[in-house]
Amino acid sequence: MQISLTPMRLDQALSVTRQGDSLTINGETFDFAPLQEGDVLPRAAVACDWLASDVTRTGGEIRLTLILPHGPEAPEATRFPQPLSLTSDGPVPLPAYQATTTEDPAP
């Protein structure tokens, strides 16, 4: 499965888990297994606010784009995310919502 990410400043969290050709997005499961090679499922046909593209099956893989929410101090890897190539089931490793800061120790 190939997931591209479109960063967007939002105050909502995103949680994604993969199971085969299904994605569970913030607790709601979307099963893309019925898509055959070359099929296109229009974005408008999927009741998911996190989906930012049509869903396709190309080269045997499901391909789609999700909105990636981030905070006001998001790290560069979140503001300019790399596509994800998922080869196993489980939680999808999303870039950090917000940059973590470390304080300098007192001298």
Predicted local distance difference test score (pLDDT) of residue 12? 93
User: With the C-alpha atoms ordered 29, 19, 17, 67, is the resulting torsion angle positive or negative?
Assistant: negative
CB atoms within 10 A of CB 39: 14
- pLDDT at position 107 over 80: no
pLDDT above 90 coverage of the chain, percent = 91
Predicted local distance difference test score (pLDDT) of residue 104? 44
101 band by pLDDT with thresholds 50, 70 and 90: low
